[in-house]
Structure 1
Amino acid sequence: MIEVSFDQLHAWLSAFLWPFIRITGLMLSAPLWGHSSVPTQAKIGLAAAITVVIAPTLPPLPNIPVASWAGLGLVVEQLVIGTAIGLTIRVMLSVVMATGDFIGLQMGLAFATFFDPSSGANMVVISRFLYMITLLMFLAVNGHLVVLEVLISSFDTLPIGIQRFNPEAFILLARYGGTIFATGLLLALPLVASLLIINLSLGILNRAAPQLTVFNIGFPTSLTVGLALLMVLMTDLGRFLERHFYHGLEFLKHLVETLAPLAG
């Protein structure tokens, strides 16, 4: 008869629980795995499967009881690491949503919104369209596999029980949030600049010929030119996103390294 002691059960539970919480933090905060359309059972099952695979390869775990204040500290520590990785991916993929907002505002489609269950807010149609393309591109370049690779390698850079973080990493993550505006505006700049020139021209035309109302000429012109320019933008969108993903994933690796506390 096989007998299992309490110490063995506790060791097995610790080997599974700590990495499982870090992976779960990623699943909850990342936009791809944390999407509302993905069932909760599937998220938990995927996190558990990854944990079972990587658990034997992890560095030695701290001998801390699960049901203790120190164990609660480890839970918070793993959630912080997983959530930081997930938030970085969310910021990286949210760039195109800002791009869609800028383009939709200039095209006159800011009112064409619908409720997005994944974000819990109204989203411009163009933003949703570009966001879905970005998610598919992210899967096509195996970005999700790179994220999982960074997550698994973080157990070596940030072993379980590290007890403290480098505060500079959180400042770095907050500053990276500016990428949403800067890169999003950079992608939308050709359309925004062109439509702005058209709107200025229509404004001058309206002053010169008041009988030509803006609503009769301006909106169809902005919409038609905007759709044409959007078609031109799509021809270079893949190259832009590929370069954006590269810089975003490089930042993710740098963030994980920065989270490690300074020596001494």
Structure 2
Amino acid sequence: MMPAGFAAVETQLWLWMVAMIRPGAAFIAAPVFSAPSVPVQLRLVIALAIGIPSLSAVNFVLPDGGLATIEGFMLVLGEVLAGLALGFAVQIGFAAALVAGETISNAMGLGFSSMIDPASGQSSPALGQFLSILGTFLFLAVGGHLALAAIIVESYRALPPGNAWMPAESINGLVLFGGTVFAAGLSIALPVGFAIILVQVVMGMLSRSAPALNLFAVGLPAALLAGLVLLAIAAPVIGEGILAAIQMGLEEARRLALGGT
């Protein structure tokens, strides 16, 4: 039997664990925080720092039997799903940079050039890595990490612990928002990708007019050179497009945090 003096300590530890669930789940899916280079201990400390004041702002009482009950299990499940939805919404907007990089890489003929993504551990085109790093800098520059923390805090008001189940309209909106990542990625890649396609069309016309011309020996260097020059010219436009996609992800996360309104 636990001494009476330690009963309050046990309850406080359970409250701290509940406070860490939603921010921790959001950091698993959110960009930057979910990178393997971010220590797990740091994520836990940040999740606890965000969760404790957020949980204190709402009226929350632990289930009678603790978390080792059906009611407690449903509470934890709701917190995990709410946190994953918030983080995944931001990740969708962030992924537009990677889609744009893959589109431009394929148009330039650099689809074979790949490297390991430090954020996901998967292989992706080198140009996609460049735009993802640019997106990370923009995300931190505009305070996206602080905005995500504020969104998590706001979610406790509309989705308090124990009643954090999102309505079907919110989940449907998140699924539909996932389709916008392709549109946003193509919009970001449009200035460079369309110009490279025009270069390839011109090279195709030259190969038809001069059959002896080696298309691979001339076309690939021309597409690479045009792509590099166009990337340098369109860098401000690409940055604005990536920033707009990130802001769309934050707005979607804020909509989910407010209960889908």
Residue 150 of structure 2 is matched in structure 1 by 149
- 1 CA distance for matches of 2:24 and 2:226? 45
Partner of 2:121: 120
- Give unmatched runs, 5+ long, in structure 1: none
- Higher mean C-alpha deviation, range 64-73 or range 107-116: 64-73
TM-score of the aligned structures, taking structure 1 as reference length: 0.90
Unaligned runs of 5+ in 2: none
- Please list the CA deviations of residues 235-264 of structure 1 after superposition, one character each: whole Å capped at 9, or x if unmatched: 22333333333332222211222358xxxx
Equivalent position of 1:197 in the other structure: 198
Task: State whether structure 2 residue 113 is matched by structure 1 residue 109.
Answer: no
**Superimposed CA distance per residue, residues 64-101 of structure 1 (whole angstroms, 9 cap, x where no aligned partner):** 42221211111111000000011111111100100000
Helix, strand or coil for the counterpart of 1:230? helix
RMSD between superposed Cα atoms in Å: 2.0
What is aligned with 1:48? Answer: 48
Partner of 2:258, secondary structure, is: helix
Which is worse superposed, 138-147 or 249-258?
Answer: 249-258
State whether residues 59 and 156 of structure 1, in contact with CA within 8 Å, keep that contact through their aligned partners in structure 2: no
CA pair 137-47 structure 1, distance change in 2 beyond 3 A:
same
Say whether 1:212 aligns with 2:235. no
1:31-180 alignment runs, 5 A limit:
31-64=31-64, 65-162=66-163, 164-180=165-181
User: Which residue type is aligned with residue 170 of structure 1?
Assistant: I
In structure 1, how many angstroms separate the alpha carbons of the residues matched to 2:19 and 2:175? 25
Closer/same/farther in 2, CA of residues 114 and 245 from structure 1, 3 Å limit = closer
Aligned to 1:46, the other structure's residue is in SS state helix
Q: Secondary structure at the match of 2:5?
A: coil
Residues 146, 117 of structure 1: alpha-carbon distance in 2 compared, 3 angstrom cutoff: closer
1:167 & 1:53 partners in 2: Cα distance? 28
Mapped to 1, the partners of 2:184 and 2:164 lie a distance apart of 35
State whether residues 61 and 161 of structure 1, in contact with CA within 8 Å, keep that contact through their aligned partners in structure 2: no
Q: Secondary structure at the match of 1:160?
A: coil
What is the rounded CA distance, in whole Å, between the counterparts of 1:230 and 1:236 in structure 2? 10
**Larger displacement relative to structure 2 (57-66 or 97-106):** 57-66
- Assess, with a 3 A threshold, how the Cα gap between structure 1 residues 165 and 49 changes in structure 2: closer, same or farther: closer
CA distance in 2, matches of 1:84, 1:218: 45
Cα separation, 1, equivalents of 2:45 and 2:164: 28
Deviation per residue, 1:169-224 (Å, 9 max, x gap): 11111111112210100111111111111111111110110111111210111000
Confirm or deny: 8 A CA contact 2:30 2:87 kept in the other structure.
Answer: yes
Deviation at 1:46, TM superposition (A): 2.1
Q: TM-score, normalised by structure 2?
A: 0.91
Q: Percent identity?
A: 28
Matches of 1:175 and 1:37, distance apart in 2? 31
Q: Distance in 1 between matches of 2:217 and 2:149?
A: 52
Contact 2:25 2:84 in 1 (8 A): yes
Give the drift of 1:136: 0.7
Q: Distance in 2 between matches of 1:163 and 1:80?
A: 8
* CA 1:46–1:32: 2 relative to 1, 3 Å: same
Aligned to 2:222: 221
Listed one character per residue, the Cα deviations across residues 40-83 of structure 1 (whole Å, up to 9, x for unaligned) are 22222222233344443333335442221211111111000000
Q: Give the conservation status (yes or no) of the 8 Å contact 2:90–2:246.
A: no
Contact 1:191/1:226 (8 A) holds in 2: yes
| 1:54–1:171 distance in 2 versus 1, CA, 3 Å | closer
